[in-house]
Chains A and B, each alone.
Chain A
Amino acid sequence: MKRRDFLHLTGMGIGAGLLSQIPLIGKAIPLETPWYSVDVAKKKEMADIALNAARSKGATYTDVRIGRYLNQYVITREDKVENVVNTESYGIGIRVLANGCWGFSSTDNLTRDGIAQAAALAVAIAKENSRIMTTPVELAPQKGYGEVSWKAPIQRNAFDVPLKEKADLLLSVNDAAIKGGANYVGSYLFVVNEQKYFASSDGSYIDQDIHRIWPTFRITKIDAATGKFETRAALSAPRGMGYEYLMPDESEKIHGVTTLYRNRYDMLEDARQGAAQVQQKMKAKSVEPGKYDLVLDPSHLWLTIHESVGHPTELDRVLGYEANFAGTSFLTLDKWESKKFNFGSPIVNIKADKKQPGSLGAVGYDDEGVGTQEWDLIKDGTLVNYQAIRDQAHIIGLDHSQGCCYSQSWKDVQFQRMPNVSLQPGKQKLTPAEIIKNVEKGIFIVGDGSFSIDQQRYNFQFGGQMFYEIKNGQIVGMLKDVAYQSNTQEFWNSCKAIADQRDYRLGGSFFDGKGQPEQVSAVSHGSATARFNGVNVINTARKI
């Protein structure tokens, strides 16, 4: 996961000054422009120009992605709207196979000549590169779907919501935090609409409309006397939803030491609670390092799932395609072939999917025109599968792609990206309160914090937003300076309880980074509250 872009945009990492000249991709559009999309017939015409031009230059396979990507960011601090950014990015990316080798070229010159030239360049690059190819690309078969479409099932398009309504919400969130005792607060709303058109020489013409939203904030409290400060970030999740996510609904709340949210988020309530909690964090007891039983809320556990399960089951990492940057994986092919690699305890079942409604990964078809699916990655604690795309499927004996191909824009080449990867809820009836009741010495962690994992996904360290000390089945107060370190296999084998379906919630990342040049993707991870026994906790307090 990549935080840099987000921090830079929001000024949360105010020091990202060295990045000041990196351009924001996309052109801005007027804030109140009605949402519209490009006519499908026009897109088909452009796609056919590219398909024909590539074939005439010698491509044996071509796919074309015509993308119109809309983003809106509303950025506030205290009583000010600091920035409103509307961007639009529109162009075409053409990928070809020639001499058995991939080539790619993209352009925002959408004239007939511009498209044909980009197609010719993609073929020229493929032919040039075939000199240093060892094995020709082998694509899993994919039937053409003809002309089809898919739309995210949103209730209210966030681009249609007046800017004033969004700004007022964020300013009222800030006001609640300041009134609650915070010194500073920044709140942010990110809205994304991907209008993607895919066409391939296999005979698919796929039109898709995808929506994502992420409301979030950060509250800061400073003790003037000591100069110490603490922060508390929002407990929202980025979602593949419309503005309905921001419509509070009592039935979607889980009340406890703090309110937690399923499919609707009450940003104002979270800010009020956050302002109180950031003050509790200031007074919290510094943790005694040692072994603790951890009870991890889904608002926290999603990130551990993402890093320790999502990434090591990416087949491109397993095969070495990411060895120079994101890394490889400890889940090597021999472990999968053995059919008995013990990834976790027998209650650990983890599925991959690109279909779950409201998730960040949900689409009808991936970026190489493959219909989306759901499959097991970890079954009863054993590694059973990976995440593959068309040119990798044959390596794990599949006769089809699993539909995990994605590109962040028309500008960049598509490659294997993580689908939603989610821990399945427990099969027995069990609530988080019942899990906590049985813990003698433990910590209940809510919200995601610092995160870091090695390049093969063995050793990790995670922080969080709030750490509640559990003693003899009771929450007795808040702790600070907490981070836990573990090893992926050891950690998942220490999973001894998972709450049932009623507690299942999605977390996720808007900015998961991978590839060179680096690309981001958005992905969700679901789980219910889970217990992990005897995990090593360190104390992170230092003096400078």
Chain B
Amino acid sequence: MPILTREEAQALLKKVLAYSKADQCEVSIYGSDNGNIRYARNAVSTSGGNTFSQMAVASAYGKRQGIATINEYDDASLEKVVRRSEELAKLAPENPEFMPYLGPQQYGPSGTGFVQETAAIDPKKRTDMVAASLDISRRNDLIAAGFLENTTAYSAMMNSNGLFAYNNSTGGKFNVTLRTQDGTGSGYVSKGFTDVSKLDVSAATTIAAKKAAGSKSAKALEPGKYTVILEPAAAAVLVEQIFFNMDARSADEGRSFLSKPGGKTKVGEKLVDDRVTIYSDPWNPELPTSPYNGDGRPQEKITWIDKGVIQNVYNTRYWAEKQKVKSVPSPDGAIMIGGTKSLEELIKSTEKGILVTRLWYIREVDPQTLLFTGLTRDGTFYIENGEIKYPIKNFRFNESPIIMLNNLEEMGISERTVSGESGIELLLPPMKIRDFTFTSLSDAV
């Protein structure tokens, strides 16, 4: 099925609700057009196109709920999916935590993340963009492996209590790794976009090319505590871990980094450097996200960490009601307020330190302290007296993003970046951090 407009989605969902016989019914739909191209060894490898949509119908009798989904949209199929969800609800055990569906909600503007030029990308355009990236790789005698994808999507939901929500968006990702012919140097760059005209594939590939050539013949430094400058892509994979663990219920139940003895939490306490402020804003022009959450709650501009103090945590509607606190949905993106310096200026002001392009294979070691391990990758350099002196071998680290944001020295200008682990996008500054803990050396390039 093609991408639906607000009116088309509204008409379709209304039709579905008309079939409902349950106490309550809620229907949502998501659809996307996706195209991607993958390349390696300086040539295209695999690529494809996919059109996909899915409708989910939830029916509830009392505290029993059933969910069924379908991807066929003729009248008979629509009625069938409603009946299936009703049958399921009757079979399901009663869930004491079930919450009645929301009534009508006020949402902020939708569609702010939709750009026609991105929606119009076709296989030829993708091939042309990748050809430009390959050209830089070949001219620099490097070997490229990369990925470009674009998606046009919409989502809508409606329920028998009067709620209706709709959003449409475009987006895409481009990332490339360039390696030297002898395999001793590697450089990486990753970009996310809503508007494809803001993506400069050649400029991005050129940065990766410089890092690849510059990282040849790396020297080994002793593991230990170092001042590091984390580029936004490197910082993203650690900062996002704070968000993944900001659930109110876990904190209240005593099993989160935000828990304190005796059932108390650290919400309202200062946990990191007072220059750290992180918020989310669905209408930020650099990183637009959906005006509503998957359960229909409106998304708002909300501050999570204010000058180092944990200001808000997110919850489910059930938990908010039980704890008698404000209902706060989890965000779709996060924005950290940065400084005014460029990455180059951060390097210039560093007496001794390490520049990190990318962190990789991040895994939790201890949920209590939010300790994570992982490795540097694709461009790690030693800085002395304000200059990059030489490439260094990769390190394994064991570090907590909470400790890291306490050891903040300086921040640069925030920019849009993509987590190489989760694919989530954030606006983050490059950060200079003291005493970052590297625990062993890696031979990997």
List residues of A whose CB falls within 8 A of some B CB: 3-4, 13-21, 23, 25-32, 80-82, 84-85, 87, 101-108, 121-122, 124-125, 128-135, 163, 167, 183-184, 220, 222, 224-229, 231, 319-325, 327-328, 330, 332, 411-413, 415, 450-459, 461, 463, 481, 483, 485, 487, 516-518, 536, 538, 540-544
Do A18 and B46 have beta carbons less than 8 Å apart? Answer: no
Q: Which residue of A lies closest to B261 (CB)?
A: A227
Complex partner residue of B47 from A125, A224, A225, A452, CB under 8 angstroms: A125
How far is B394's CA from A131's CA once the two chains are assembled, in angstroms?
Answer: 36
A280 to chain B, nearest CB (A): 17
Do A17 and B46 have beta carbons less than 8 Å apart? Answer: no
Do A538 and B439 have beta carbons less than 8 Å apart? Answer: yes
Is the C-beta of B207 less than 8 angstroms from some C-beta in chain A? no
How far is B405's CA from A544's CA once the two chains are assembled, in angstroms?
Answer: 11
Do A80 and B394 have beta carbons less than 8 Å apart? Answer: no
A66 to chain B, nearest CB (A): 15
Q: Please classify how large the interface on chain B is, using the bins under 10, 10 to 19, 20 to 34, 35 or more.
A: 35 or more
How far is B237's CA from A282's CA once the two chains are assembled, in angstroms?
Answer: 29
CB within 8 Å for A540 and B365 given contacts A29-B68, A129-B44, A411-B50: yes
How far is B44's CA from A29's CA once the two chains are assembled, in angstroms?
Answer: 38
Most buried by A among B39, B49, B85, B329: B49
CB within 8 Å for A540 and B371 given contacts A20-B329, A183-B254, A227-B261: yes
List, in ascending order, chain A residues with CB within 8 A of B176's CB. Answer: 324
How far is B206's CA from A381's CA once the two chains are assembled, in angstroms?
Answer: 42
Is the C-beta of B374 less than 8 angstroms from some C-beta in chain A? yes
A111 to chain B, nearest CB (A): 11
Q: Which residue of A lies closest to B177 (CB)?
A: A324
List, in ascending order, chain A residues with CB within 8 A of B124's CB. Answer: 128
Is the C-beta of B14 less than 8 angstroms from some C-beta in chain A? no
A104 to chain B, nearest CB (A): 4
Q: Could you show 11 A-B contacts with beta carbons less than 8 Å apart? A: A15-B330, A20-B330, A28-B69, A220-B255, A231-B255, A324-B145, A330-B443, A332-B183, A454-B444, A458-B444, A542-B371
List, in ascending order, chain A residues with CB within 8 A of B371's CB. Answer: 540, 542
Most buried by B among A3, A332, A538: A538
Do B444 and A323 have beta carbons less than 8 Å apart? Answer: no
B421 to chain A, nearest CB (A): 8
Do B366 and A101 have beta carbons less than 8 Å apart? Answer: no
Do B363 and A451 have beta carbons less than 8 Å apart? Answer: yes
List, in ascending order, chain B residues with CB within 8 A of A163's CB. Answer: 91
List, in ascending order, chain B residues with CB within 8 A of A517's CB. Answer: 36, 149
List, in ascending order, chain A residues with CB within 8 A of B330's CB. Answer: 15, 17-18, 20
List, in ascending order, chain A residues with CB within 8 A of B40's CB. Answer: 319-324
A408 to chain B, nearest CB (A): 13
Is the C-beta of B158 less than 8 angstroms from some C-beta in chain A? no
How far is B434's CA from A33's CA once the two chains are assembled, in angstroms?
Answer: 59
Is the C-beta of B140 less than 8 angstroms from some C-beta in chain A? no
List, in ascending order, chain A residues with CB within 8 A of B396's CB. Answer: 452, 454, 459, 461, 485
User: Lowest 3 CB-CB distances: which A-B pairs, in order?
Assistant: A17-B330, A227-B261, A459-B442
Do A538 and B262 have beta carbons less than 8 Å apart? Answer: no
List, in ascending order, chain B residues with CB within 8 A of A131's CB. Answer: 127, 131
Do A134 and B145 have beta carbons less than 8 Å apart? Answer: no
Complex partner residue of B257 from A30, A231, A453, A544, CB under 8 angstroms: A544
Do B41 and A134 have beta carbons less than 8 Å apart? Answer: yes
List, in ascending order, chain B residues with CB within 8 A of A461's CB. Answer: 373, 396, 398, 439-440
How far is B330's CA from A167's CA once the two chains are assembled, in angstroms?
Answer: 29
Q: Which residue of A lies closest to B248 (CB)?
A: A14
CB within 8 Å for A23 and B68 given contacts A125-B47, A450-B363: no
CB within 8 Å for A483 and B373 given contacts A20-B329, A81-B95, A454-B442: yes
Given contacts A15-B244, A319-B41, A487-B443, 14 further A-B contacts (CB under 8 A): A3-B363, A20-B293, A23-B54, A27-B69, A31-B91, A102-B47, A129-B47, A129-B123, A229-B367, A231-B367, A324-B145, A327-B444, A459-B443, A483-B373
B207 to chain A, nearest CB (A): 14
Do B44 and A132 have beta carbons less than 8 Å apart? Answer: yes
Would you list which residues of chain B between 1 and 40 have a CB under 8 Å from chain A? 30, 36-40
How far is B396's CA from A229's CA once the two chains are assembled, in angstroms?
Answer: 26
CB within 8 Å for A542 and B400 given contacts A18-B240, A29-B84, A413-B48: yes
Do B375 and A132 have beta carbons less than 8 Å apart? Answer: no
Complex partner residue of B375 from A27, A29, A459, CB under 8 angstroms: A459
How far is B439's CA from A457's CA once the two chains are assembled, in angstroms?
Answer: 17
A184 to chain B, nearest CB (A): 7
Do B365 and A27 have beta carbons less than 8 Å apart? Answer: no
Complex partner residue of A320 from B41, B244, B368, CB under 8 angstroms: B41
Do A450 and B364 have beta carbons less than 8 Å apart? Answer: yes
Is the C-beta of B314 less than 8 angstroms from some C-beta in chain A? yes
A333 to chain B, nearest CB (A): 11
CB within 8 Å for A18 and B443 given contacts A82-B95, A222-B255, A452-B363: no
